Each structure stands twice: as structure tokens, then as C-alpha cells.
Amino acid sequence: MLRRIRYGEADRILHLYSRTRGRIGAIAKGARKPRSRFGGRLEPFFRLDLILHEGRSDLLTVTNVATVDGYPRLRSRGPALMAAARACDAVLRLLDAAEPNPPAYNLLCRYLALLDGEQSAHGDGAGDGAAGLSTALAFRLKLALAAGFSPELASCARCGEADGLVGFSGAAGGVVCAACERDGFELSPEAHRFMVEALGCPLASAPSASERALRQAERAVSETLEHHAHVHLRAAA
Ligand SMILES: [Zn+2]
């Protein structure tokens, strides 16, 4: 569940991202009643197994729900909870079509599991770093790739030059050479390398980089999505 909204006297509207149908809107009737048959199972970030009734409305109706994973440890840590909220918000904004996108679905599940500490960011079993900026950006880059808006990183997005890539242009949708940098901003070799490595390795082993490089990478992803997906995302961390 990406988000839930109060509706009417006792209902909830749910914004869901599903493996088989992509974005779904559903209504859970009576979910806010004290003795609702849904119990405490309709919580944000929960991974759910839902039975939905499809009527004439755009909203499906929840008829049954089982929890697949509630990520309980994620909920007890502020930074992990904030990271989960930003990730779900990014999925909500970037993947608005009601069509399946298994890579995006699997990516979100992996990130939530990582934030919950099921998998460690550094192989130490503690999950440390999963809620940090580098993993948040690696998630965002992979999500952009899954949505079809991955920035061009191999050669100048304007002229195709492979050497002397010094900037990034959101309008061009990728790295740019010095001759094409006029509408872009400076991108350090470290930030460029971070983006390439983050896309190439599993989320659980996202590369690290300096704060300055990470902020450049964040700007690169944000401007690409603003220009090409017309989506404005909140700060990554
Ligand atoms: Zn160029």
C-alpha cells in the first residue's frame, strides 16, 4: 500500500501498487470502524494479498485482505519510515498507469525489506545505511529505469561524444560534454560514477559517495524526471 486516505464516515481509499495490474485505487468500506473485519491489516507500506471486487466504479472494493509482510522493524525507526514514505510517494507519482511493471514492483518490495533490516546494506545483518541517501538514490535511479526514464550516462546526451563528459542536462536527459553543457549543470566524475554503479549493482549493495556527489546525482535524476516524465519528486533524504 502506497497511501491511504480517510473517506466518508468510516471508509478508507487505498492507493495500491500491484504486481499484476500496476496502480490500483480501492475502497475499504468500514475500515475505520473499531471492529472492522480488516483489523489492522490496511496499513501504509504493508505488502498485502487482497481480494478486490471490480464494479462500475474506478475504485475496486476490498473484500478480503491478508498480510504478506508488515515490515514491523521499519516502523520502529524514523529514518527507515521516512525513506519508505518517500519511496512509495515516488512510485505513486512516477508509475501512474494501471499496467503491470514487475521490475518496479519487485524493486519497491526489495527496498522495503532492506529498510526493515531483512537484508543488510553492508552484509552485516544490521540493515545500516539502507535508509541513507545513497540507497535512496539507487532506488530512485532503478525506479526511473523501470519506468523508462533512465538518464543517458554512457555518452553525451546531445551529441554522442563519449569523452569529456563534465555536466548533466535534465532537458537532454543525460550527461553532456563541455561543448553541450550550456543548459546543464556541473556533474563531478564521482557523481557520474555513482549513478553508473548504482544502476549496475543490487540495491542492497548500493555504492557510497560524498554528500556533494550524491546531491549532484539527486539533481540529475530529479531534473530528468521533471523534463521527461513531468513528475516532481520530494527530496530523496
Ligand atoms: Zn556533447
pLDDT in tens, 68-113: 999 998 888 888 999 999 999 999 999 988 899 999 999 999 999 9
pLDDT in tens, 134-161: 999 999 999 999 999 999 999 999 999 9
Q: Ligand 1 centroid vs 25 CA: distance in angstroms?
A: 43
Q: Ligand 1 centroid vs 169 CA: distance in angstroms?
A: 10
Q: Ligand 1 centroid vs 160 CA: distance in angstroms?
A: 6
State mean pLDDT over 168-193.
95
- The phi-psi region of residue 67 (left if phi > 0; otherwise alpha if psi is between -120 and 50; otherwise beta) is beta
Helix segments in 38-131, DSSP class H: 72-75, 78-94, 102-115
Q: What is the pLDDT of residue 117?
A: 86
Query: What letter represents residue 67's amino acid?
Result: T
- pLDDT band at 122, cuts 50/70/90? low
